[in-house]
Amino acid sequence: MIVDEIIATCSHPKIAGAALLSIGGAFVEEIAHDARATGLPPDAFVALVVSRFGAVASPAERVAVSIAVKGHDMPLLEGLRRIVKDFASLARRLEPTLG
């Protein structure tokens, strides 16, 4: 599933950073703002969000991302954007995982 690929790759800061550069625009500015609030650089922040999503997202949330990117020109980048932007609030993005 494409969501698994996004989690496997973009949980690494260098790959997350390269993906951010590819997405560009206002999205990157928004992420940089959120990252500053946590004291993390944007690439590490995105990697953390993706990693947390992988740990706590429900099957329905994963399927929703997969459906949303189906047929998109750049599904990996769009999936990353959706995970980071839509994955609840900043507090949920960064809350510790259980287990």
pLDDT along the chain (99 residues), means of 10: 95 96 93 90 94 92 94 95 76 50
Nearest in space to 5 (alpha carbons), one of 56, 80, 73, 60:
80
pTM of the model: 0.85
Quote the pLDDT of residue 38.
87
Quote the pLDDT of residue 95.
55
Quote the pLDDT of residue 85.
87
Quote the pLDDT of residue 1.
84
Quote the pLDDT of residue 97.
52
- Whole-angstrom CA distances from 56 to 46, 59, 67 are 15, 9, 19
Q: How many angstroms separate the CA atoms of 56 and 53, rounded?
A: 5
Nearest in space to 65 (alpha carbons), one of 43, 45, 93, 84:
84
Spans of all domains in the chain: 2-94
Quote the pLDDT of residue 99.
45
